[in-house]
């Protein structure tokens, strides 16, 4: 158990809908990263938050957004869902930002868009 908690574990929804994925980082970790794993794109970095502020964006669609709350948990919001958004979404947390510290991954949320 990495100490990173993601909910829900599985999510099935229809095209056009909106969903929210939740991540609770390890105790004491200030950084949260979101990654998407799909068959065609592999593992891709989406976005990073540190202590409540967005710090970096990767290949994140405009239909997707995220935030990190004062208690440091993070949510990834996916809207106007398309079939191609079906993927495994991971969050990872690490202690800091800017210095290389190891990131620990949650169990992931498997999103299926039908």
Partner 1 sequence: ELKVEQNPLFLSMQEGKNYTIYCNYSTTSDRLYWYRQDPGKSLESLFVLLSNGAVKQEGRLMASLDTKARLSTLHITAAVHDLSATYFCAVDGGSARQLTFGSGTQLTVLP
Contact footprint for partner 1 (CB under 8 A): 2, 31, 33, 35, 42-45, 48, 50, 55-56, 58, 88, 90, 92, 94, 97-108, 110
Nearer to partner 1, 72 or 103 (CB): 103
Nearest distance from residue 27's CB to partner 1, in Å? 18
Strands 104-105 and 19-24: unpaired
Cross-strand pairs, 52: none
For residues 21 and 78, the answer to whether their CB atoms sit within 8 Å is yes
Nearer to partner 1, 16 or 53 (CB): 53
For residues 12 and 110, the answer to whether their CB atoms sit within 8 Å is no
Nearer to partner 1, 49 or 78 (CB): 49
How is residue 90 written in tokens? 């991971």
């Amino acid at each position: 158990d990495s100490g990173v908690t993601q909910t829900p574990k599985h999510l099935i929804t229809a095209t056009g809908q909106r969903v929210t994925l939740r991540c609770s980082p390890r105790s004491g970790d200030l950084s949260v990263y979101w990654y998407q794993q799909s068959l065609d794109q592999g593992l891709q970095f989406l976005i990073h938050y540190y202590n409540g502020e967005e710090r970096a964006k990767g290949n994140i669609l405009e239909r997707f957004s995220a935030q990190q709350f004062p208690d440091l948990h993070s949510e990834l919001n996916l809207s106007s869902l398309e079939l191609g958004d079906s993927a495994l979404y991971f969050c990872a947390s690490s202690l800091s930002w800017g210095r290389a510290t190891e990131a620990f991954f949650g169990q992931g949320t498997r999103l299926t868009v039908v």
